[in-house]
Chain A
């Protein structure tokens, strides 16, 4: 492991990789600050750039930087403007903004940044420790286990995402269907192309991701974005006092652990971990009445949790080849574009990518700490860019990014189609994340399912007769039943 980490640092510390880690962290923070443009949309917008970067390690280092950078950036506007830059920072508004109104904006930002740094680093240490044994274990997986794992991962992403289960399942089925468009790799038949030549190779991931996440979000915001008033809040002292440290040290530690373990679960991620951390801090606090009125633990815990989760969500991707959320699915796609298949073989076949990304996260966390506090003024200024200019510029990026995939206008029309589809999904409260995950994992699920049926002589019992796949399915069953039970119990107690 130590050898691997040394290899990783030798890769990540090259000038070009340091530059791209810095760029990723910078773009990520900016994205976290700007409401209406999440990390998944930004990574989607930058996927064409990944094409032009020669080294896969460099491309992934930049995208990982955007992902965890956005978690840092989200807290800034939550605290200063009561406006969460992205979903994981919603809970930070509760106490962060109240602290700012009491003249403690600087301390809130300081503790958020330091907590994020500590948690992010703990998350990466966990990733370093847990990823190699999981990858080694996953080498024992055959087609039934891989199929069961991907299905369980997708179903968990649906059940834990916090939105409607039924709508999530519909999205999942739609994603798998969209992945089936084009040439069937086994029989060679063309599916759902209806004579359109451009559809014979299926939908391109970049077009789909940029359409649903990038353009769809812009279309939706055209109807919803109101002009925000920038409120200037005095920052005051940034470095927390000893009393603040004493109050928050355990909140940061708990937030880091909560975030790390929730982040590993597909569908868990930063949003849930920050909510759980806030609930835990409030529950165990001796002064719960202070929560919502400017309790510093209410900022430190959730901010630590969402950063730890963003680090640990790389574990299923790097070790099992299962992306747990939409942003990680984009990174998964970027790896595939660069000819690297994430999964158990990654550590042995491409140690430079595996360890390079991990090592870059240690460096990226330090960069973010240095970046975040001195540039707070700049991030607030960024909010003054009118949406009327930002939106068409982002559209120009999506259009040219899509056009360059195969230099044909058909892809741009497809992009607009997916954009309208993404807009409709948002309007009808369908969460598009599971669709994207299913689209990414669709080909693997189909091929492993067909291989498994061939192995078993056509019996689905193979998924429950092999110990690993049975364990995976049982775990999923227990989790769902547990969720239903707790939901029922809560409702009963309320009644």
Chain B
């Protein structure tokens, strides 16, 4: 329930920020000719209201849930088996490897960046042995490079470090 409250509060705050931005910077215009901020303002206000409902006290939430079928504020909405620290670390490492891949893509070029990504993923995320990692990395990088570069004829970055 606490998670729902926090999320609801964040949604309401986000909605308020959108509404203020739309009102001050984009302008609402007149009803006959709405300006660029009209729809974002309406949406911001709606998010504010919906976020507030979500963040409301349990009694109010239960009342809404009774009126609206399957409202989603149910016990099963809470994480039944929270993932362990290892799995959370897996996700964290996966995102880091991916960000590094995005950063190196234009610098090191597609092939080298892909080799680094696959190697990094297998070692850091999947905790594979070195030989298996090397095999998967080289094979997948070669296959993907051939597929994109020659079969699909997609432009892949050549790398600024080597140009």
Interfacial residues, chain A to chain B (CB-CB below 8 A): 48-49, 52, 162-167, 169-170, 173-174, 176-177, 180, 184, 186-187, 189, 191-192, 218-219, 222-224, 388-389, 391-393, 395-396, 399-400, 403-404, 407, 409, 412-413, 416, 419-420, 423, 427-429, 446, 449-450, 453-454, 457-459, 483-484, 486-488, 491
> Does B146 sit within 8 A of A, measured CB to CB?
no
Is the pair A173, B7 in contact by a Cβ cutoff of 8 Å? Answer: no
In the bound assembly, the distance between CA atoms of A394 and B103 in angstroms comes to 18
- Of the A-B pairs whose beta carbons lie under 8 Å apart in the complex, a sample of 11, sorted by A's number, is A170-B50, A173-B46, A177-B44, A222-B90, A223-B87, A224-B83, A395-B117, A409-B105, A428-B7, A453-B31, A484-B67
Q: How many residues of B contact A (CB 8 A)?
A: 71
Is the pair B34, A222 in contact by a Cβ cutoff of 8 Å? Answer: no
Give every chain B residue within 8 A of A170 (Cβ-Cβ).
Answer: 11, 47, 50-51, 54
> Does B126 sit within 8 A of A, measured CB to CB?
yes
Is the pair A407, B7 in contact by a Cβ cutoff of 8 Å? Answer: no
Instruction: Tell me whether A404 and B155 are in contact in the complex, defined as CB-CB below 8 angstroms, given that A187-B35, A223-B90, A453-B31 are known contacts.
Output: yes
In the bound assembly, the distance between CA atoms of A467 and B126 in angstroms comes to 60
Is the pair B72, A167 in contact by a Cβ cutoff of 8 Å? Answer: yes
B87 to chain A, nearest CB (A): 5
Give every chain A residue within 8 A of B11 (Cβ-Cβ).
Answer: 170
Q: Which residue of B lies closest to A386 (CB)?
A: B126
In the bound assembly, the distance between CA atoms of A458 and B38 in angstroms comes to 12
Q: Which residue of A lies closest to B140 (CB)?
A: A393
- Counting from the closest, the 5 A-B pairs by CB-CB distance are A164-B72, A458-B31, A487-B69, A458-B32, A184-B36
Instruction: Tell me whether A165 and B79 are in contact in the complex, defined as CB-CB below 8 angstroms, given that A180-B40, A191-B40, A407-B155 are known contacts.
Output: no
Interfacial residues, chain B to chain A (CB-CB below 8 A): 3, 7, 11, 15, 18, 21, 26, 29-40, 43-44, 46-47, 50-51, 53-54, 64, 66-73, 77, 79, 83, 87-88, 90-91, 94-95, 98-99, 101-103, 105-106, 110, 114, 117-118, 121-122, 125-126, 128, 136, 140, 144, 148, 152-157
A259 to chain B, nearest CB (A): 22
Give every chain B residue within 8 A of A413 (Cβ-Cβ).
Answer: 99, 102
Give every chain A residue within 8 A of B66 (Cβ-Cβ).
Answer: 491
Q: Which residue of A lies closest to B86 (CB)?
A: A223
In the bound assembly, the distance between CA atoms of A86 and B12 in angstroms comes to 33
Query: Of A164, A391, A446, A457, which contacts B39 at CB under 8 A?
Result: A446
In the bound assembly, the distance between CA atoms of A488 and B67 in angstroms comes to 8
Give every chain B residue within 8 A of A176 (Cβ-Cβ).
Answer: 39, 43
Query: Of A52, A173, A388, A393, which contacts B152 at CB under 8 A?
Result: A52
A-B contact count (CB 8 A): 164
Does more than half of chain A's interface fall in helix, strand or loop, or is it mixed?
Answer: helix
Q: Which residue of B lies closest to A491 (CB)?
A: B66
A453 to chain B, nearest CB (A): 6
Q: Which residue of B lies closest to A408 (CB)?
A: B106
Give every chain A residue within 8 A of B153 (Cβ-Cβ).
Answer: 52
Give every chain B residue within 8 A of A163 (Cβ-Cβ).
Answer: 70, 72
- Which of A49, A187, A449, A486 is the most central at the interface, judged by chain B CB atoms within 10 Å of its CB? A187
Q: Which residue of A lies closest to B106 (CB)?
A: A409
Is the pair A396, B69 in contact by a Cβ cutoff of 8 Å? Answer: no
Is the pair A166, B64 in contact by a Cβ cutoff of 8 Å? Answer: yes
Q: Which residue of B lies closest to A225 (CB)?
A: B87
In the bound assembly, the distance between CA atoms of A416 and B94 in angstroms comes to 11
Is the pair A222, B125 in contact by a Cβ cutoff of 8 Å? Answer: yes
Is the pair A223, B88 in contact by a Cβ cutoff of 8 Å? Answer: yes
Give every chain B residue within 8 A of A491 (Cβ-Cβ).
Answer: 66
Query: Of A389, A392, A427, which contacts B117 at CB under 8 A?
Result: A392
Give every chain A residue within 8 A of B3 (Cβ-Cβ).
Answer: 428
Instruction: Tell me whether A187 and B106 are in contact in the complex, defined as CB-CB below 8 angstroms, given that A164-B70, A173-B43, A173-B47 are known contacts.
Output: no
Q: Which residue of B lies closest to A51 (CB)?
A: B154
Q: Which residue of B lies closest to A387 (CB)?
A: B126
Q: Which residue of B lies closest to A398 (CB)?
A: B98
